[in-house]
Chain A
Amino acid sequence: MIRFKKVFKSFQSGSLALTDVSFHIAKGEFVFLTGHSGAGKSTILRLVYADSLPSSGEVRVSGFSTERMRRSDIPKLRRRLGIVFQDFRLLEDRTAEENVAFALEVTGVRRNLIQPKVMRVLTQVGLAAKATAYPRELSGGEQQRVAIARALVNDPLVVLADEPTGNLDDRATRGVVQLLRDINANGTAVLMATHDLNIVRHEAARSIEVQNGAIVYDSAIDEKNVGGGVQ
């Protein structure tokens, strides 16, 4: 469903952000993308949601290929993805439910369908009781749950999470990771970038490690051959 084929990405300065990156993520998989900050995790995620295009090679996501993608395809692609960031990216002047509903409104979903969908995902992330709270009235963990609810409300094929626990304490981190696992258990693929190896160690899931823009380890391949750990 997500396939990187010999992807190179260079910055405007000319230095390489990604070098010969190839991997495949199947429907319903849960994958950690690990590595130090600046290793290239975010660049990989941005290529997935077509915020940038590869300098060479091909990225295919849910039938959209970067080789044939037009500008007008980008919104269509993003409606099949749910994206979560470290800094939540909620609109401060809208309540939790308005933030979630916003994702449906701007994609032209009929109004009478919006409210039930919003309540369903807010219930799913455990925030139904705080639907009318503004982001500033919520804890970091709760804000991230709202962001996850917003990512889920379009019924995405895959949730992309870029350091979703980077701003959270241990307890909130565990909650968010569990939530992503639950979402995955319902059939949605999850690609989560993190530099926190503690999380990865505790979860039985595939992990791909990026170093200096190259994949140095992929548990799906390497464990079969070497049987090594994450590090």
Chain B
Amino acid sequence: MRLVIRETLLSFRRAPVLSALSVTTIAFALFVVGLFGLVALNIRIALEDVEERVEIVAYLMRGTPVEVVTVALGDIEAFPGVESATYVSEDDNLARARLDLTEFQEVYDDLAENPLPASIEVRMSEGYRDAGTVAQVAEWLGSFRFAEDVRFGREWVEKIDRLQGIAAVVGLVIGAAFAVASVIIIGTTVRMTVLHRSREIAIMRLVGATNGFIRRPFLLDGIVKGVLGGITAIGLNYAAYAAINQIYSTSFFNVGQAMLLVLFGTALGFLASAVSVARHLRRVTAG
């Protein structure tokens, strides 16, 4: 094992330019994947923010007894997918309207009687905010006898739904394309290392080194380059994030996601090395 580590270190020392180039190439391939990941992550967060505001409002008939509302609130909250149901009285609605619609302030001040009804505001749990479920809950709320009208911004909810669908499909396709591109780039880079050392491999075989023995330093080499490339890519991504963040407020990967990118690079480095060396060993003879 010591020899494997020594040979791996030697390969870095003997071909510093090639090694640095490999790490840089891997880093940039992963950087692009990471950038895409950042974009996807931020789109998802933005959509979630919008989605969180999905709300169903049931306007109540005037004079609905408080006891009836209290019982109904319990029923609604027990409904699957409902996160919360809040009662908003006529007065509260008026106060809110005064705050929100400042241009009508005076109109509200002149009112002799509150024209606004009381309402129940229903928020849906995560994962239940799609147009179908929301429409279903809205319909059910409408079936309460005290419900005069139910609103939830159908078009808006459907639009978010569509956006999420597009984001998921586009994300999957582009993400896969970037991942495949980085696999090819990293594979080619590692192959260069193997070709660079083909003479050494031929001599190793000549003096009776087993294939397993020949393979090991290359595998370690691929892993080390993958790790270094992955860490560099995270650094580059962070730099890009920091630059963009000065203009727009965005989010960066959490530790798990960053580790995933490094792990992806490591796995790629390892696999690319394994494939390259295996191909080389099959193809090239000793003499």
Q: List chain A positions with a Cβ less than 8 A from chain B.
A: 42, 45-46, 49, 51-52, 71-72, 75-79, 81, 83, 85, 89, 91, 93, 102-103, 105-108, 150, 154
**Given A89-B203, A106-B213: A51 in contact with B285 (beta carbons within 8 A):** yes
Q: How large is the interface on B (under 10, 10 to 19, 20 to 34, 35 or more residues)?
A: 10 to 19
Q: How far is the CA of A27 from the CA of B286 in the complex (A)?
A: 24
B29-37, B124-132, B204-212, B253-261: which lies at the interface: B204-212
Q: CB distance A49 to B213 under 8 Å?
A: no
Q: How far is the CA of A150 from the CA of B203 in the complex (A)?
A: 11
Task: Find chain A residues with CB under 8 A from B207 CB.
Answer: 78-79, 83, 102-103, 106-107, 150, 154
Task: Find chain A residues with CB under 8 A from B203 CB.
Answer: 89, 91, 102
Q: CB distance A105 to B3 under 8 Å?
A: yes
Q: How far is the CA of A17 from the CA of B199 in the complex (A)?
A: 26
Q: How far is the CA of A42 from the CA of B286 in the complex (A)?
A: 13
Q: How far is the CA of A72 from the CA of B208 in the complex (A)?
A: 10
How near does chain A come to B199, taking the closest CB pair, in angstroms?
A: 7
Q: CB distance A52 to B285 under 8 Å?
A: yes
How near does chain A come to B215, taking the closest CB pair, in angstroms?
A: 12
How near does chain A come to B34, taking the closest CB pair, in angstroms?
A: 35
Which of A46, A71, A107 has the most chain B CB atoms closer than 10 A to its own CB?
A107
Q: Does B159 contact A (CB under 8 A)?
A: no
Q: CB within 8 Å of A: which of B183-216?
A: 199-200, 202-211, 213-214
Q: Does B65 contact A (CB under 8 A)?
A: no
**Given A46-B287, A51-B285, A51-B286: A78 in contact with B14 (beta carbons within 8 A):** no
Nearest CB in chain B to that of A89: its residue:
B203
How near does chain B come to A126, taking the closest CB pair, in angstroms?
A: 21
**Which of B199, B208, B285 is within 8 Å of A75, CB to CB?**
B208
Nearest CB in chain B to that of A91: its residue:
B200
Q: CB distance B285 to A154 under 8 Å?
A: no
Q: How far is the CA of A42 from the CA of B207 in the complex (A)?
A: 17
* 23 A/B residue pairs, CB under 8 Å, sorted by A: A45-B287, A49-B287, A51-B286, A75-B210, A75-B211, A77-B208, A78-B205, A78-B206, A78-B207, A78-B208, A81-B208, A83-B207, A85-B287, A89-B202, A89-B203, A91-B200, A102-B204, A103-B207, A106-B204, A106-B207, A106-B208, A106-B213, A108-B213
**Which of A79, A91, A105 is within 8 Å of B199, CB to CB?**
A91
Q: CB distance B209 to A107 under 8 Å?
A: yes
Task: Find chain B residues with CB under 8 A from A46 CB.
Answer: 285, 287
Task: Find chain B residues with CB under 8 A from A93 CB.
Answer: 14
Task: Find chain A residues with CB under 8 A from B200 CB.
Answer: 91
- Proximity string of chain B (198-238) to chain A, C-beta cutoff 8 Å, 1 when within and 0 when not: 01101111111111011000000000000000000000000
Task: Find chain B residues with CB under 8 A from A72 CB.
Answer: 210
Q: How far is the CA of A91 from the CA of B206 in the complex (A)?
A: 13
Task: Find chain B residues with CB under 8 A from A150 CB.
Answer: 207
Q: How far is the CA of A75 from the CA of B287 in the complex (A)?
A: 14
Task: Find chain A residues with CB under 8 A from B202 CB.
Answer: 89
Q: How far is the CA of A81 from the CA of B207 in the complex (A)?
A: 8
